Amino acid sequence: AAAALSSSLAPEQGGTLTAAAAENYSPIYRLREGSIAGSTDYAAEGFRVRYRKDSAYHSIAVVEDDTDRYLRFDSSFQSAMDLGDPYTTPFDYVAYLSLAFAYRLDPANALYVGLGGGSAPKRAWRDFPDLQVQAVELDPEVVDVARRWFALPQDPRLEVEVEDGRRYLQQNERRWDVIVLDAYYSDALPFHLTTQEFLELVRDRLAPGGIVVANVIGAVEGQNSKLFRAFYRTYRSVFPSVAVHPVDFRRDATAIRNIIVVAGEGALPSRDFLLERWADVKAEHPRAPDLTEAIRGRYERLVPTRDVPVLTDDYAPTDALILVD
């Protein structure tokens, strides 16, 4: 059962995902399996430790191999950066977050709830030179690590606020063209950033035509899909239009993966229209990622939700829903 908000505000970080060798399986899933739970013997895993510190929220480690640098909280991978290109990451879902800029053309600003190593906000900052980027992160140590070890730019066009994401939206009435929700901590979800009440707040902070994009971990079908389907039902209770983009859509639909959910108050464009629009965006912004496969892989099947709850402040059993049989 969900605890009171005042006692459960969780740190926002970048989306939880394993290293490239883990084939995109989430550390939430792997922790349930026990395959990396409690593992801090980084040398045995083939990593060099560059930095370690215990913050008020978790044990932070920056580790690297010959090609990539990883941010880990406790025993979970949170962010990654190519050592040769700080704007490249082995985590495919980060590029999918740029779907926001296919659904919302020429946004003036974007808010990222959850920072981690800053992969998504710094990529948006680079790819779209006219975009004002704001990130919100609860743990100040994470902000320091992102700047020191993951090349997060210090620039007036990329601001970072140290605050809980929900409280930030409650206290600031600024409207956003894009809001990206990519907040995880170690091996669980901050439930207060998943509920109907929170999404109503997000909706109220969107500018006309604004889009919310969220990273959810789960399966789109099968026995391990309950968390995703509860998310979907909750989003549909607030937004009339919701689209689903599973990362690596050619895999089995029952596989655990990152799933990008896009929602807005207006009708969302068709896949064909999005493909044409993104070709135009790429022509103007050549550094933006190639989202052809991400758009083609939009999930068009009916999502059954009768057996899953609408997540609310009073009842949001996210930990129970992610359990893998």
The whole-number pLDDT of residue 45 equals 86
Distance of CA 325 to the CA centre of its chain: 24
The full set of domains in the chain, from first to last, is 9-82 (no CATH), 93-300+310-322 (3.40.50.150)
Give the strand pairing for 76-82 and 109-113: unpaired
Element (H, E) at 225: none
- Could you tell me the CA-to-CA distances from 50 to 130, 145, 152, 265 in Å, in that order? 34, 11, 17, 45
Q: Are 60 and 71 within 8 A, CB to CB?
A: yes
Q: How far is 264 from 194, CA to CA, in rounded Å?
A: 16
The whole-number pLDDT of residue 32 equals 30
Single-letter code of the amino acid located at 202: V
Structure confidence by residue, pLDDT tens digits, 22-75: 333 333 333 333 333 345 788 888 899 999 999 998 899 999 999 999 999 887
127 CB neighbour count, 10 Å cutoff = 18
At 187, the pLDDT band (50, 70, 90 cuts) reads low
Structure confidence by residue, pLDDT tens digits, 113-122: 999 999 999 9
Asked if residue 225 has pLDDT above 90, the reply is yes
In sign, the C-alpha dihedral spanning 121, 126, 131, 134 is: positive
Backbone angles phi, psi at 235, to 5 degrees: -65, -40
Q: How far is 205 from 219, CA to CA, in rounded Å?
A: 29
Q: How far is 93 from 89, CA to CA, in rounded Å?
A: 9
Q: How far is 292 from 311, CA to CA, in rounded Å?
A: 32
- Could you tell me the CA-to-CA distances from 37 to 47, 77, 113, 136, 187 in Å, in that order? 16, 11, 26, 28, 9
Strands of the sheet containing 132-137, edge to edge, are: 158-162, 132-137, 109-113, 176-181, 206-218, 257-264, 241-246
The whole-number pLDDT of residue 246 equals 98
Residues contacting 172, CB < 8 A, separation 6+: 205
